[in-house]
Chain A
């Protein structure tokens, strides 16, 4: 809300005024009804480690995060550039591998990634688009510059929270929406449906959302998106493959499925092709996909560009395919597989954030400044044992935004996850999920690790 000189950022001016009018008591009441609204909407998720299956809500802070139109333009341009280049990169990796032949990045590093799928070589998804649905994690450093932190090319979650948070905040601060001219995110699910339909020539197009089931932590979102799009919500066991065609099992027999927005990981999609012990997938699904009889969004195999070691090369990837300089810079990244970097990481581990290259969700990471000596030694040992699996980044002082706490309004660290749709064209929804670290001073915003969320208002200015 305030910039480095404690000056009110202009996009917050009206909101700040409203905040003062509302008063502390009323604000707490608003926060309380926000919690109730989330419960009644069933916006709950199960925490993985809880075998009790305890349902939690993702805490929604009533104070929105506001982004000026000017800032947003930059984010938008940066994301378009980045997603376009990453898609070309994935396509290249599964075809000629020109980028490896030209030695822009080490082939070994890419091809050794567990997420590189040999089975996808030579495949042509519709329009050669592989990453249909993405949500890029962006942070703003102390310098006020936006950096991309993670690319999340494997159907990241959270968009339902972006949409429902907005619905709730519209009830909380109705008058501000008109005054401030907040850009709408309402049409996301229409755009999503249109994009998915555009991937198939069937008429009408039968779309299904594939979920691991009601115990998945993102089930609320899967059901929500299916319902909002008017698509069928299916589990692996609802599908059968006959003659390389995918069908749903209905009360009146089998019905063909044309496009699957799948929220099941590559590994679990098809026990005949990937993990044999998967009960979430459907036998024969991958073959049907390979034959072009069904579209999978996102395409299998995109995780390779999501690898945290590959991330470090994105500036070069953009330069290579688009001949442009990167608009939204990366966070400086040390690749433990490269010897000089590794040495630096080991010597400075207390200052760095170390991440496992194939993990996500805030798991498998070490935050140097907040870690114990023993934890640091453990990570040094792991890095030496398997350097390919680790990268490190400087600890970035994430920007803070005002957040309602028990002690009043205080700054909390946030990140920003906008959502991008890519079919025949690339669309960025003017809004985002802002994740907030609720604990004072904490830098971890993941919902699985005590993070909350905020509605994100992108203004027309």
Chain B
């Protein structure tokens, strides 16, 4: 019997989540960074909007119960350092590390050391109360770079076994989710009056949004002018931008096919669910979505992604799915 690419279900599960958490940490760092930047660009009479940021992450209720009023430092603390927020940068890196620890023999020493480094970084900055600093952007930068370095190490040192592909799927699903949430921020961002649509303030917000997913430069190359429907289209349907929702799902599907050996259609519920969400994106029309409501569309997209994640769990990680070995 030659060992090919099969791996322990528990390990596959842990690699999947390790990557999701890392991607989450990186995205949160970027969100915070951009929002902080945005606050510096706004005219003095307009308050920076920190509430939409919390709302987009889906943890508004938790925030309210822990911190009450919206205030810059509290939001930075909550999204960056709060142990009680299961999705904060701190929690995400801690969870990523716990998962990495559980799969230590399946990742390389370099990967492990970098995850470990990131964990100690956020721990250190928590001790230093970085959220109270006048300018915490150095920290966000270090998290971003640290995560990107990690992706590089991952790519350069890990064999393309099923484990790598499960990790990839985790990362891409998380990324698609976060891009959809960033796009949704604009829905929650308030303009002083409806006449402000298309105003410099409106455009500043859209530009910030693109920057939150590192999409500003690539968007400029593709469309040039900042136009809301183009921005939405770019982040949702672009076929070559690596953070667009469609592109993320395309690649996640490729990894899934590599694992199962399937080439078209679906052979299990994970493939089916993922295929469905992807097809909806492929055949969607941005103008129709704007008419029926972008927020509702994105909300639904996030729910569907959760179903994909659940289907992956049941297909590959859950112990009930035992098969007897081939003789």
Contacts and interface: CB of A to CB of B under 8 A. Distances in A.
A227 B112 CA distance: 12
Interface residues of A, number: 32
Contact of B322 (A232, A237, A254): A254
B78 to A, nearest CB: 22
A255 interface: yes
B145 interface: no
B112 A249 contact: no
Contacts of A247: 325
B325 A249 contact: no
Contacts of B2: 204
Given A240-B322, A251-B162, A42 B112 contact: yes
B323 A254 contact: yes
Contacts of B120: 39-40
Interface string A231-260: 111110110101000011111111110000
Nearest to A232: B8
B101 A253 contact: no
Interface in A352-384: none
Contact of B116 (A39, A204, A250, A255): A39
A232 B116 CA distance: 22
Interface in B81-134: 98, 101-102, 104-105, 109, 112-113, 116-117, 120
Interface stretch (A170-178, A218-226, A398-406): A218-226
B103 to A, nearest CB: 8
Interface string B1-34: 1110111111010000000000000000000000
Contact of B113 (A41, A224, A256): A41
Contact of A238 (B10, B117, B259): B10
A114 interface: no
Interface of chain A, main secondary structure: mixed
A204 B323 contact: no
Given A40-B116, A40-B117, A235-B10, A251 B259 contact: yes
Interface string B286-327: 000000000000000000000000000000110100111110
A265 B162 CA distance: 32
B9 A232 contact: no
Contacts of A219: 101
Nearest to A242: B324
B8 A238 contact: yes
Contact of A233 (B9, B104, B109): B104
Interface in A172-230: 204, 206, 213-214, 219, 223-224, 226-227
Contacts of A41: 109, 113, 116
Contact of A251 (B117, B316, B325): B316
Interface of chain B, main secondary structure: helix
B11 to A, nearest CB: 8
Nearest to A247: B325
Contact of A237 (B7, B319, B324): B319
A254 B98 CA distance: 25
A255 B3 CA distance: 9
Interface residues on B, range: 20 to 34
Contacts of B7: 250-251
Contacts of B1: 204, 206, 255-256
B162 A227 contact: no
A249 B321 CA distance: 9
A249 B9 contact: yes
B16 to A, nearest CB: 10
A248 B113 contact: no
Contact of A227 (B8, B10, B105, B325): B105
A427 B117 CA distance: 37
A249 B105 contact: no
A39 B9 CA distance: 29
Contacts of A238: 8-10
Given A42-B112, A204-B1, A237-B10, A255 B104 contact: no
Contacts of A223: 101, 104-105
Contacts of A226: 104-105
A201 B187 CA distance: 65
Given A41-B113, A223-B104, A256 B8 contact: no
Interface string B150-180: 0000000000001000100000000000000
Contact of A253 (B98, B259, B323): B323
B100 to A, nearest CB: 9
Contact of A255 (B6, B102, B259): B6
A50 B23 CA distance: 31
Identify which of B9, B116, B324 gathers the most chain A CB atoms within 10 Å of its CB.
B9
A252 B98 CA distance: 24
Contact of B8 (A39, A214, A249): A249
A39 B12 CA distance: 26
28 contacts: A39-B116, A41-B116, A42-B101, A42-B113, A206-B1, A206-B3, A214-B98, A219-B101, A223-B105, A224-B104, A226-B104, A227-B105, A231-B105, A232-B105, A233-B105, A240-B322, A242-B324, A249-B9, A251-B9, A251-B259, A252-B162, A253-B6, A253-B326, A254-B325, A255-B6, A255-B325, A256-B1, A256-B325
Interface of B: 1-3, 5-10, 12, 98, 101-102, 104-105, 109, 112-113, 116-117, 120, 162, 166, 259, 316-317, 319, 322-326
Given A214-B101, A223-B101, A256-B1, 13 more contacts: A39-B116, A41-B113, A204-B2, A206-B3, A214-B98, A226-B105, A237-B10, A250-B6, A250-B7, A251-B316, A253-B6, A254-B322, A255-B3
Which 10 A-B pairs rank lowest in CB-CB distance, beginning with the nearest?
A223-B104, A227-B105, A252-B6, A253-B323, A250-B6, A226-B105, A233-B105, A251-B316, A254-B325, A251-B12
